[in-house]
Chains A and B, each alone.
Chain A
Amino acid sequence: MSKLHVETIINGEPVEFLCEPHTSLLDALRNEVGLTGTKEGCATGDCGACSVTLDGRLVCSCLVVAAEVAGHEVTTVEGVAEAEQLHPVQQKLLEHAGLQCGICTPGFVVAAKALLDRTPDPSETEVRYWLAGNLCRCTGYDKIVRAVLDAAAELRA
């Protein structure tokens, strides 16, 4: 079976990779492109650990067929910080101890940034519902929600 050749933009840079027709974007990112920051918790769209944005839209990369990102723009957790400068969501997660094991963190970073990009002043309830697709088994969400609200305040300032 011959592989597909995909040209796309990942974190602002042109990237090419080969994949099978059924390969998920998650597997392509991790195994073909070498971006292992995006995590797999379930591969069925139920945990959010694999969250990335596709043309600015939040998606579960385990549910996206890799070949379909040809010509589109993908942003992963590796593309959220600018050089040395952490995004406020990342910084506030650290300050609030919003991660314990940290396996869910890449997904929360990408999802929370996507929320704040569109909703600069979310309520606690909005944050909780937006992040309802991201599972965290360690924190009980308290410190994550506080971090996201704090990051929103900082971004508005």
Chain B
Amino acid sequence: MTAVVIPNGLRAHCEGCARVEVEAVSVRGVLAALEARFPGFGAALGENVAVAIDGEVFQDPLYEAVAPESELHFLPALSGGR
């Protein structure tokens, strides 16, 4: 199971969980699993998701692979009107 660490700002959308374990092989799979468990989570996350997987930051991560022992952190995106 891949561990997903949820930032404070998003915990309201996943029943307050700080850490969620999901079964997935890619970031896309992680997002799908979260959405299945917490409907609306994806919308709260927004379009430009950045994540850190095992210490490495990915700005455009949808198809990046995750392993069962991976730890994934969402980085709050704060772009908005450049």
A contacts B: CB pair < 8 Å: no
Enumerate chain B interface residues (CB-CB to A < 8 A): none
A residues contacting B by CB (< 8 A) are: none
